[in-house]
Amino acid sequence: MNFDFSDDQKLLRDQARKFLQDKCDRSLVRSILEDSEQNYSENLWKDIAEMGWTGTAIPEEYGGLGLGMLELCVIAEELGRSLAPTPFSSSIYLFAEFIKSYGNEEQKKKYLPKIASGEFIGTFALSETNGTPRPSNIKASVNDGKLSGEKAPVNDGEVADIIIVAANSDNNANHNSLSLYLVEKDDPGLSKSSLETLDPTRPACSLNFSNVNAEQLGNRGEGWSMIEDIFNRAAVLFSFEQVGGAQVSLDEAKKYSLERFAFGRQIGSFQALKHKMADMYVKIELARSNAYYGAWALSTDSNELPVAAAGARVSASDAYNYSSQENIQIHGGVGFTWEYDCHLFYRRAKLLSLNIGSTRQWKENLISNLEKRNIV
């Protein structure tokens, strides 16, 4: 057993951290937050692509670096720490993983090199309802290769060049007919309207499809199991982003608590705050360890993945939501100002914990996977 990243992976982490400190400081994050015209930082996206990060886990034959999922986990943590305002999760954790796992050779050749180079941004469109997406509440459908329906929210939908859409094949809205389709942004039947989100550095839109050209991805009728599989993979990567953000929330709470005085002493010397920060630490360490386990399962294609991914996701959402919320509390009044950065993490924490399904839903996944596999 060796339950740690390798020296090379740690080196990659250090490089990524330095790079993002330089290219993605808070003023860059705020420039996207405060400019409703900008959906992401194009400069940062270019820089990231030049570093090869977008192609980290894409095989060399498709233009990627051909490194593994562990390296992608390392990068995810750093993106989470720096609050990077880019479509990385939509394009890499979701779109690229769908194509890698379920695309045919032609689709891989067509899309992966452009995704790896950052030239193309991909995303995934699933939700249509207020509530948990399920096969039974997906109304979008495809007839004779033409897709119609409406999806919202679609993360990074406004800037996506290519979108994977979950829809029923042949108008038949039963479970077995859910399939995945590829739709290109220029189709005349596709219209977009932007949505405000909890965290404007991670934008979303609603997409309307009216007889749009749709190319099937993966086997017909197997949409739901493909979604579950890719969400499991993405959950591990999201959990690393979340752990990264949670750690910075704790670090900043600690820093402020040492600088601010009340009643003649540092507020960080009050036990109520010390114990709160100890609780953050505990949640973050548990989340980090669960994420490591997820990373191992992901990188080895272990059949532990569904359980490991759900565990990582539940733990990381808890750690980040708690740490970002209590970070505001530890700051007092200034924590509620636009000027201080606490809200950046508070926004991102909640948004990330909803993006690929709520904590509630992942807890349910966890228990049902434990039941299924009866591993305990």
Partner 1 sequence: MDFNDSPQEAEFRKEIQKFLETNAEKRSTIADKPNDKGPQIAVAGAPETVRGGKEAADEALERAKEWQKKKADAGFAAILWPKEFGGYGGSPIQQVIYSQEEHNFFVPSGYFEIGIGMLGPTMMVWGKDEDKKRYLPKMITGEEIWCQLFSEPSAGSDLAGIKMKAEKNGDEWVLNGQKVWTSGAHFADYGMIVARSDPSALKHKGLTYFFLDMKTPGIEVKPIKQISGTANFNEVFFSDVRIPDSQRLGAEGEGWKVALTTLMNERLAVGDPPGLDFDQIFEATKEIEVEDGLAIKNSEVRQKMADWYVQSRGLQYTKFRSITALSKGQTPGPELSISKLVTASKMQDVSAYALDLMDMSGTIHNDKNPILKNLFQNGYFFSAAMRIAGGTDEVLRNIIAERVLGLPQDERPDKKLPFNELPSGKN
Contact status: 292 vs partner 1 (CB under 8 A): yes
Among 136, 174, 225, 269, binds partner 1 (CB under 8 A): 269
Contact status: 3 vs partner 1 (CB under 8 A): yes
- Three-state DSSP state, 339: coil
Among 2, 144, 186, 338, binds partner 1 (CB under 8 A): 2
Among 191, 208, 213, 289, binds partner 1 (CB under 8 A): 289
Contact status: 366 vs partner 1 (CB under 8 A): yes
Contact status: 218 vs partner 1 (CB under 8 A): no
Contact status: 200 vs partner 1 (CB under 8 A): no
Six-digit token string for 340: 């201080």
Minimum distance from residue 8 beta carbon to partner 1 (Å): 12
Among 98, 124, 296, 345, binds partner 1 (CB under 8 A): 296
Six-digit token string for 373: 């596999």
| Nearer CB in complex with partner 1: 46/360 | 360
| Nearer CB in complex with partner 1: 254/347 | 254
- Three-state DSSP state, 124: strand
Contact status: 216 vs partner 1 (CB under 8 A): no
- Rounded to whole angstroms, the Cα distance separating 17 from 248 reads 12
- Rounded to whole angstroms, the Cα distance separating 365 from 342 reads 31
- Rounded to whole angstroms, the Cα distance separating 99 from 270 reads 52
Contact status: 367 vs partner 1 (CB under 8 A): yes
Stretch that binds partner 1, among 179-187, 321-329, 343-351, 365-373 (CB under 8 A): 365-373
Minimum distance from residue 1 beta carbon to partner 1 (Å): 6
- Rounded to whole angstroms, the Cα distance separating 174 from 316 reads 33
- Chain centroid to CA 210: how far? 28
Contact status: 293 vs partner 1 (CB under 8 A): yes
- Rounded to whole angstroms, the Cα distance separating 49 from 252 reads 29
Contact status: 370 vs partner 1 (CB under 8 A): yes
* Cα distances (Å, whole numbers) of residue 354 to 31, 104, 238, 347, 370: 24, 30, 11, 11, 22
Please spell the DSSP secondary structure of 177-196, one letter per residue.
GEEEEEEETT-TTEEEEEE-
324 within 8 A of 342, measured Cβ to Cβ: yes
Instruction: Provide the phi-psi class of 301: left if phi over 0, else alpha when psi is between -120 and 50, else beta.
Output: left
- Rounded to whole angstroms, the Cα distance separating 281 from 319 reads 9
Contact status: 143 vs partner 1 (CB under 8 A): no
Stretch that binds partner 1, among 15-23, 132-140, 241-249, 362-370 (CB under 8 A): 362-370
Please spell the DSSP secondary structure of 157-170, one letter per residue.
TTT-SEEEEEEEET
- Rounded to whole angstroms, the Cα distance separating 202 from 7 reads 32
Contact status: 329 vs partner 1 (CB under 8 A): no
**Distance, first Cα to last Cα, the chain:** 20
Stretch that binds partner 1, among 12-20, 89-97, 314-322, 325-333 (CB under 8 A): 314-322
What number of chain residues touch partner 1 (CB under 8 A)? 51
x/- track of binding to partner 1 for residues 235-264 (CB under 8 A): ---------------x---x--xx------
Stretch that binds partner 1, among 122-130, 164-172, 199-207, 310-318 (CB under 8 A): 310-318
- Rounded to whole angstroms, the Cα distance separating 95 from 103 reads 10
- Rounded to whole angstroms, the Cα distance separating 11 from 248 reads 20
Among 150, 184, 222, 279, binds partner 1 (CB under 8 A): 279
| Nearer CB in complex with partner 1: 262/336 | 262
x/- track of binding to partner 1 for residues 41-70 (CB under 8 A): -----------------------------x
Contact status: 311 vs partner 1 (CB under 8 A): yes
Among 107, 191, 213, 299, binds partner 1 (CB under 8 A): 299
Minimum distance from residue 292 beta carbon to partner 1 (Å): 6
